[in-house]
Amino acid sequence: MKKLFFLLLIVLHFVSGFALNINIIESQSFNPGHTMDMEWYSVVTGMGHSPVISPQTTLDNTAFFANTDILIVSSGVITLPANRITTILQFIQSGKPVYLQSEYDSTYTTNQGFAFIVNSVGGNFSWDNDFVGDLNPMNVLGTYATTNLAVPPLSYYWYSVSGSDNSQCSRLVNILEYGGGYHGFQYVPANAAYGSIITTTDQDWINTVVSTDLMENFITHLITPPVINSGSIALDLGNDTTICPGSSFILDAGSGNVLYQWQNNSSGPTFTVTQPGTYWVNVTNGACSVSDTIDVTLQPGTLINSGLFLGQDTTLCNPPLLLDANVQGAQSFLWSTGATTPVLAVSGNGTYSVQVNFPNCTFDRDTIAVSFNGSNVPLVDDTEICKKGSVTLQAPPGYNSYLWSDGSTGTTFTTATPGMYALTVTLANGCVYTDSVEVVYLPYGIPAPGMSWTPMSVQGNVYINQFNSISSGFNMSYLWDFGNGITSTMQNPIITLSCGVSYPVMLVVYNECGGDTTYQTVLNNCTTDISGSGSLNAEVSVYPQPASESLTIRYRTELFSEVNINLYNLPGQIVKSWKMQAADTENLFTLNLNGVTGGVYSLVLISNQKQWVIPVMIR
């Protein structure tokens, strides 16, 4: 109802000579012969409006919105970057219409911009088929051929691309037709707060001044877009109205529809109005959409003395408190919480007010301050303990007395037994609060440590060991100490040790419940080759030793097709990694050591068949 009234006002303004500010984006900087901007300027001036031709950079921001009623982008072959397309979309979303010239090629950014804008405001538009040559006659459809001027088919239209909207209930109006395809369109968004957009897919008919009458009709349809058939949805929010202070009424968008969207993005079929303002709703039934708008203004009210009294300000032990605003003759209620019931249950500290509305826009108000001396939040949190462990429960401070379920009266309670424990606290004013806490066992205890070690390779007077934790338990962390200043927190570290030296290796394993330690003396006299991979020099060799900038690996191809290489430092951490592929014959692979500091390292080569561990010295 409101929307139709608004459109009628626009038409009356137009008929009475109301001049609009029309901003025309220039076309001649792309090609001096493209004078579409001047043609639009002449038509708009002849209609009694106020045109201005602006540079394309005008679209880089929204500053022109305030003094522009209609926007015309006059060239279909200029480049419209994404930010300028977004500006045009925002102009439409501000409630103002656009003519956006497109062209015969759907890859032009003007064509892409039209499709993007239509699809952003509810459509499902796509460009379809190319048309070549002079498309004569180009038929002008519907009211575009009659309002306000009579327009015959266009005698010149050079090349085009057709388009269509695939929405179930399309809001795209076809303007031009040739050869079974449509070549001009106006899209009217379902959101009544948005402006519409028109395009035609050839600018030559404007540049050669084929029909200034059609250009005038386009301006008319931008000012007053056609009414779109919205299917079977019946929507009427009613006439603009007034509201008394503190009162409310319900806007009803009907039933049986699939989707409702109100101005605040709520999605119910009704909306409760409590304040003056502009309200709108968009309703969709799965195929079609329709919108309506209503303005609500405030009518001055009169304060009366009705005997309304919520009570004296009060302090209570426990919520809730029922506040009763029932008085004789009351028509409606509005609480400070937004509730509209005559009785309100409050559970939190605060000041509560109510306005009671009576006939003839009269009302009464009252306020009460309410506080509670505590709350029902937990006094103690549930907790877990380890088996053979204990926990101390801490009560919150600030209470006058404490009583635990075992009769103790301290602020703490210690137990090593799972179960439910109760705590009762009392405030100085006598308010009493009770809470219970559950103590449960963790599903695991202290882990049992264990270790093993395996010599992996020997070179010179050092050997490489794989140390393994064989501990049992859950959520375990590890601390290794190898008795030579080297430690590791890995589960299974690889460590380089000296031949003939005894190492008192210690492993500490721990979790939330505690930890335990195991020791083992590790010694290797390095009298045998323990590489586990046959003759080391025959299969894989590494040189030079010591190395500085690089290491070279020589290997036989038949050993593997791919090898992962890791360089470990003494604590067992990976310093650098490589991957190499085997070639057809004996191979060389060079490792770049940039960034590796000097020291003793372990070079570990792993294929899907074998593993090699080679000590290396880097200086």
> How far is residue 400 CA from its own chain's centroid?
49
What CATH number has the domain bearing residue 597? 2.60.40.3080
Range scoring the smallest mean pLDDT among 377-391, 412-426, 490-504: 377-391
Range scoring the smallest mean pLDDT among 32-41, 43-52, 442-451: 442-451
> How far is residue 251 CA from its own chain's centroid?
32
DSSP letters along 382-447, please?
-EEE-TT--EEEEPPS--SEEEETTS--SSEEEESS-EEEEEEEE-TTS-EEEEEEEEEE-S--PP
Is the model's pLDDT at 508 over the cut of 80? yes
Tokens 């083992």 -> residue: 520
- The per-residue pLDDT for 532 is 35
The answer to whether position 48 is within a domain reads yes
Question: Residue 231 is which amino acid?
Answer: G
For the segment 582-614, what is each residue's pLDDT rounded down to a tens digit? 664 456 788 899 989 888 787 887 776 566 777
Check whether residue 357 and residue 477 sit in a common domain.
no
What's the rounded Cα separation, in Å, for the pair 239 and 2? 7
For the segment 108-160, what is each residue's pLDDT rounded down to a tens digit? 999 999 999 999 998 899 999 999 999 999 999 989 999 999 999 999 999 99
- The per-residue pLDDT for 98 is 98
Check whether residue 74 and residue 207 sit in a common domain.
yes
For the segment 427-483, what is each residue's pLDDT rounded down to a tens digit? 877 788 888 888 887 777 788 888 888 877 777 778 888 899 988 888 899 999 998
- The per-residue pLDDT for 610 is 67
Tokens 């959101």 -> residue: 191
- The per-residue pLDDT for 13 is 41
What CATH number has the domain bearing residue 327? 2.60.40.10
Is the model's pLDDT at 531 over the cut of 50? no
For the segment 546-561, what is each residue's pLDDT rounded down to a tens digit? 788 888 887 765 656 7
Nearest CA-CA partner of 110 in 191, 33, 193, 201: 201
What CATH number has the domain bearing residue 134? 3.40.50.880
The answer to whether position 216 is within a domain reads yes
Nearest CA-CA partner of 130 in 104, 112, 110: 104
Task: Kindly give the pairing relationship between strand 302-303 and strand 562-568.
Answer: unpaired
The answer to whether position 228 is within a domain reads no
Which domain covers residue 245, as residue numbers? 241-298
Task: Kindly give the pairing relationship between strand 503-511 and strand 432-441.
Answer: unpaired
**Cβ–Cβ under 8 Å, residues 272 and 333:** no
Residue 6's pLDDT band (cuts 50, 70, 90): very low
The answer to whether position 529 is within a domain reads no
Check whether residue 18 and residue 121 sit in a common domain.
yes
The answer to whether position 65 is within a domain reads yes
Domain stop point among 223, 251, 282: 223
Mean pLDDT, residues 562-568 taken together? 84
- The per-residue pLDDT for 379 is 64
Q: Between 501 and 201, where is the model more confident? A: 201
- The per-residue pLDDT for 2 is 41
Check whether residue 476 and residue 614 sit in a common domain.
no
The answer to whether position 608 is within a domain reads yes
Domain stop point among 162, 188, 223: 223
- The per-residue pLDDT for 534 is 30
Check whether residue 58 and residue 157 sit in a common domain.
yes
Let me know the angle formed at the C-alpha of 444 by 440 and 446, rounded to the nearest 5 degrees.
Answer: 115
- The per-residue pLDDT for 535 is 31
Domain stop point among 223, 251, 268: 223
For the segment 324-366, what is each residue's pLDDT rounded down to a tens digit? 999 999 988 999 998 989 999 998 899 999 999 999 899 999 9
The answer to whether position 446 is within a domain reads no
Q: Mean pLDDT: which of 49-53, 317-321, 384-388 is highest? A: 49-53
Q: Per the confidence metrics, is the pTM higher than 0.75?
A: no
What's the rounded Cα separation, in Å, for the pair 323 and 346? 8
What's the rounded Cα separation, in Å, for the pair 507 and 417? 31
Check whether residue 185 and residue 173 sit in a common domain.
yes
Range scoring the smallest mean pLDDT among 8-22, 30-44, 86-100, 447-461: 8-22
Nearest CA-CA partner of 69 in 138, 7, 17, 21: 21
Check whether residue 494 and residue 592 sit in a common domain.
no
Domains identified in the chain, total number:
6
Check whether residue 82 and residue 186 sit in a common domain.
yes
Check whether residue 84 and residue 146 sit in a common domain.
yes
Please state at what angle helix 82-93 crosses helix 109-120, rounded to 10 degrees: 40
Mean pLDDT, residues 372-392 taken together? 70
Check whether residue 36 and residue 134 sit in a common domain.
yes
- The per-residue pLDDT for 434 is 84
Check whether residue 479 and residue 505 sit in a common domain.
yes
Residue 370's pLDDT band (cuts 50, 70, 90): very high
Above pLDDT 70, what percent of the chain?
89
The answer to whether position 231 is within a domain reads no
Is the model's pLDDT at 396 over the cut of 90? no
Average pLDDT, the chain: 85
Assign 240 to helix, strand or coil: coil
Q: Between 101 and 289, where is the model more confident? A: 101
Tell me the three-class secondary structure of 159-188, residue by residue.
EEEEEEECCCCCCEEEEEEECCEEEEEEEC
Check whether residue 495 and residue 573 sit in a common domain.
no
Range scoring the smallest mean pLDDT among 96-100, 227-231, 450-454: 227-231
Query: Residue 264 is encoded by which pair of tokens?
Result: 């605040």
